[in-house]
Each structure stands twice: as C-alpha cells, then as structure tokens.
Structure 1
Amino acid sequence: MSIEAGSNRREYMQQVIAPNAPLASEESSPRALVWTGRVLTGVIVTFLLVDAIGKLIPLAPYVEGTKQAGYAIELLRPLGFLLLIPALLHLLPRTQFLGALLLTAYFGGAVATHLRSGSSPWFPVVFCFILWAAYAMRSTQFRAFLRASIQ
C-alpha cells in the first residue's frame, strides 16, 4: 500500500494497524456509546486528579495511607506527579492512548502494592478495566483495532 498525494494519513495508518477493519470514516459511532465513554472517562479522571492533588499537597489521609503501604513519605509527591501527568494526557484527544497506557502502568503498581500489603487488588483492576472500556467506547479506531485483533 502506498501513500498517494492527498490521501488521508489517519486512514492510511489505520489500514496499516488493522488492514481488514473498516475505516473510521466508514464506521459510525452510536452517540449513546460515545457519551457513555465520555462520562465514564470523566468520572475516572476526576477521581485520579483528586487523588493526584491529594498526594501533591500532601493531605493527612494520603500521608497516613502512604505510611501504611510501607512507602517513604518523600515518595508521595513523585507519586502524585506520576498520576497527574498520565491523567491529564488521557484527557487530551491526541494523547489519550498514551495516557491510558501510562495509567495502566500506574494501576499495575497499585496492584503490586495491594498484593504486597495483603489487601485486595480489585480497586485498581476495576478502574483500569473501566478506563479501557471507556476509551473503546469513545475511539472508533481503537474499536476497529480490537475487532481486527479478534478476527
């Protein structure tokens, strides 16, 4: 497949990633699906931003939770930045996929922390699942990629 003058780069890249999937311009997204994804993303990112700000300030419950998790208090602000940056990236359309990947890594660390402390890791696992489900609801390209991967 060659790039012709005047061709749409996004459609070309989509065909490189998922050659048998319909083009995003050919596929319509039901409005309810897209809005459900936006609302879920808003809820998740709002929670993550509040959590990041609580770590950056640092508020007393976050300091106590960090001590109980077995981490040094000096790590609270860096953890806040490690959460704030991908959460903000996930809000921007051009960087939402990168934000989702980085948040997945953050949630992986949260799962490891929960397992190490002997508590249930269900909370970060569920949050990560909702994050990716909401992204799939909003992104026609990601849905096309998932369909092509399954086939």
Structure 2
Amino acid sequence: MQTVTKAQLWTGRILSGIAVLFLTMDGVMKFVAPPEVLQGSEALGYAADRLPIMGTLVLTGVALYLIPRTSVLGAIFLTGFLGGAVATHVRVDNPLFSHVLFPTYVAAFIWGGLLLRDARLRVFLPFAKARSTPVESERGITTPHLRERTAQ
C-alpha cells in the first residue's frame, strides 16, 4: 500500500496553504476594492461592478478546495479560474513570467499540494508506475489502482 509520508503531508499542506492564502486574499480584496485593486482591474478590462462576482467565484473555489471530500472539485474549479487569469494577462500583453504565468504557478501549488497530501491522486499521473496494490490516502481511504501490472 502506498501511503503519504509525514514529509509529503506537511509539504503538501504548506504548498496548499500558500495557494489558499493568496487566493483568499485575492477574493477578499475583490470585495474590499481599494483603489489599487480598482485600477488594476480596470487596466485588465474588468469593471468595478464585476469584482464581487469574481471574488465570490474564487472564494467558492477555495472553500471547495479546503473541504477534503470536495478538494479535487475545488482544484478543478480554481484551475479554470486561473486559466481565465492567464487569458486575461495574455490579452492585455502583460510580461510573461511575472504576470501571464503567475496563475500557473498558483495552480502548480494547488495541484502539487493536493497530490502530496492524497496518494490516491497519484494514480492519474502519466509517469506513475502501475501497481497491483491499493493506495491509501491521508484520510485512510483505500482505493485500488486503475491499472494492473501485465503478467509476464
């Protein structure tokens, strides 16, 4: 059985925590709307009346991600949201590494943290070896692998 080591668990929690803190701050700032946020949103082509909608979306994704039973759904939801952020930065011709790819870095923290915390998700990685034994997650849930080793 593949289990999550203590180091993997804590590394995953830290990566997830960094992403959650950033996205929570982003969502809250959409509601607080200080002048800097209003100016930045306007420069990206978003009117001030759209900020609460965007804040609600990102905070909903964060809430889903924080609940263990819906964490994968939250990661998928946030990945879509962050994909829209990449598209927005490309559209306004922002710098590549500091602006366009920043949402990709956040998504990597989201998925990396989740993969480190939950061994069941590692089955879906294309470079993972097929196993004939079940996988145990951090919550003690055992799930059989999707693929069996071929008999030789």
TM superposition score normalised by structure 1: 0.78
- What are the superposed Cα offsets for residues 73-112 of structure 1, whole Å, 9 maximum, x if unpaired? 1111100001110011101101100000000000100000
Percent pairwise identity: 37
Aligned to 1:109: 84
> 2:106 and 2:31 mapped to 1: Cα distance?
21
- Unaligned 5+ segments in structure 2 are 131-145
Letter in 2 for 1:136: L
Alignment partner of 1:40: what SS?
Answer: helix
Structure 1: gaps spanning 5 or more residues: 1-25
CA positional deviation for 1:34: 1.0
Match for residue 11 of structure 1?
A: none
Counterpart CA distance in 2 for 1:138 and 1:127 is 17
CA RMSD of superposed structures (Å): 1.7
Q: Are 2:105 and 1:126 aligned?
A: yes
> Which aligned pairs between 1:11-26 and structure 2 lie closer than 5 A?
26=1
Structure 1 residue corresponding to 2:122, chosen from 115, 139, 143: 143
Q: Distance in 2 between matches of 1:83 and 1:38?
A: 19
> Which runs of 4 or more aligned residues in structure 1 lie more than 3 Å from their structure 2 counterparts after TM superposition?
148-151
- Deviation per CA, 1:101-143, whole angstroms, max 9, x where unpaired? 0000001000000000101211011111121111110111101
- 1:69 equivalent in alignment to 2:44: yes
Aligned length: 126
Residue correspondence of structure 1 range 66-105 to structure 2 within 5 A: 66-105=41-80
What letter is aligned with 1:28?
A: T
Q: Deviations over 1:9-50 (max 9, x none)?
A: xxxxxxxxxxxxxxxxx2221110111000110111011001
CA drift of 1:144 comes to 2.4
